[in-house]
């Protein structure tokens, strides 16, 4: 059996992985039969060898491979992905292979094709976890609160979403903080959010960047329009986009060198959350896309400083060009 958990929303990927692995571990009595591996640089030969290992005493062996480079990589690896894909066809019935990928696996990857074929034969399952759309975020706030036995008022939900980065892990952490402050009460109100949750405007650039990397080209324009209508300064949004494109270029270069998140963290001094998010988002962009965007943003920034362009019109024009490219 093969299970693939993948997607850009790391919180949901990790949540599903915990639930699945807790269940699978309960059926294993010998430690040898449960292997959890960071597999970003795993070679095809090692992958094949791991797949062929049989369980000892137990009827089932669980093999967990995290961030498998053969699955996530977009560069040619000398036929490595093809060899790994072929090996999936002969995986022993006694092995449950769990693939955990904090990224969207490319449909064109040979391993992804093999797993999709196995799904049709009922030998595999695939779950993809994308970041909740803007319209769904309020529902997730309520759900995360309810899972902790809390109720949260509509005003508190709205304010929380305004104050924090649109990342479910960050939202959950804020709910935990609000729960502790409200104890012994089980109700979160707007005044508590106002008092305890610090405002963060970093969510704006992530919202724009998420929209740029989505498969819905028109979404970026809608996100931008929403931010401008809310009174966000075009020059501020432009500045944050320039900084973010710079991060994405660094992340794309790291990925193109087949290096991991740790290498990017060694280059950038941003918050670990920001670096990790940039690393994941960079997978959705080509280097030439990022280079074009970065140069264009710098050009626009210079023209605005010289008074040659209106800030709002300039950033709207950039988004329109980016949308048409998408």
CATH number 1.20.272.10 given to 202-325: yes
**Residue 277 to residue 203: CA distance in whole angstroms:** 12
Structural class in CATH, domain 2-128: alpha beta
In angstroms, the CA 161 to CA 153 distance is 13
Average of per-residue pLDDT across 114-126 = 89
Tell me how many degrees the CA angle 10-19-23 measures, rounded to the nearest 5.
145
> Which residues on neighbouring strands pair with residue 97, listed in sequence order?
2, 63
What pTM value is reported for the model? Answer: 0.57
Mean pLDDT to the nearest integer, 217-246:
73
Q: Using pLDDT thresholds of 50, 70 and 90, give the confidence band for residue 76.
A: very low
Model confidence band, residue 99 (pLDDT cutoffs 50, 70, 90): very high
Query: What is the model's pLDDT at position 297?
Result: 87
Cα(first)–Cα(last) distance of the chain, in Å?
A: 37
Is the fold of 2-128 the same as that of 202-325?
A: no
Taking only Cα atoms into account, the Rg of the chain, rounded to an integer number of angstroms, comes to: 22
User: Residue ranges per domain, the chain?
Assistant: 2-128, 134-196, 202-325
Task: Please name the CATH architecture into which domain 134-196 falls.
Answer: Orthogonal Bundle (1.10)
Alpha helices in the chain, H assignment, sequence order:
10-25, 44-52, 69-72, 80-88, 110-120, 137-147, 154-163, 168-182, 190-196, 202-212, 219-229, 234-256, 261-267, 272-281, 287-305, 311-325
Among 58-67, 97-106, 279-288, 299-308, the least confident range: 299-308
């Amino acid at each position: 059996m093969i299970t693939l958990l993948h997607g850009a929303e790391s919180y949901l990927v990790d949540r599903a992985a915990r639930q699945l692995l807790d269940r699978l571990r309960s059926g294993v009595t010998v430690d040898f039969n449960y292997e959890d591996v960071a597999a970003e640089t795993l070679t095809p030969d090692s992958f094949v060898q791991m797949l062929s290992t049989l369980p000892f005493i137990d009827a089932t062996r669980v093999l967990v491979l995290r961030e498998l480079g053969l699955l996530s990589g977009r560069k040619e690896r000398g036929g490595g992905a093809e060899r790994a894909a072929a090996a999936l066809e002969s995986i022993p019935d006694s092995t449950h292979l769990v693939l955990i990928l904090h990224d969207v696996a490319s449909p064109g990857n040979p391993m992804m094709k093999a797993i999709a074929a196995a799904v049709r034969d009922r030998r595999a399952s695939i779950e993809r976890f994308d970041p909740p759309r803007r319209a769904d975020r309020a529902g997730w706030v309520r759900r995360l609160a309810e899972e902790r036995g809390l109720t949260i008022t509509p005003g508190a939900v709205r304010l929380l979403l305004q104050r924090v980065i649109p990342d479910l892990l960050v939202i959950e952490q804020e709910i935990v903080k609000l729960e502790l402050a409200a104890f012994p009460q089980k109700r979160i109100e707007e005044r508590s959010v106002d008092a305890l949750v610090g405002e963060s405007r970093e969510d704006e650039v992530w919202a724009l960047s998420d929209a740029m990397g989505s498969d819905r080209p028109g979404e970026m324009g809608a996100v931008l329009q929403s931010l401008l209508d809310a009174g966000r300064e075009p020059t501020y949004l432009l500045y944050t986009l320039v900084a973010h494109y710079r991060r994405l270029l660094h992340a794309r270069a790291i990925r193109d060198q087949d290096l991991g998140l740790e290498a990017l963290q060694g280059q950038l001094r941003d918050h670990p959350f920001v670096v990790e998010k940039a690393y994941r988002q960079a997978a959705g962009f080509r280097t030439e896309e990022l280079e074009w965007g970065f140069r264009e943003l710098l050009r626009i920034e210079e023209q605005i400083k010289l008074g040659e362009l209106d800030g709002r019109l300039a950033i709207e024009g950039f988004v329109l060009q980016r949308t048409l490219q998408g």
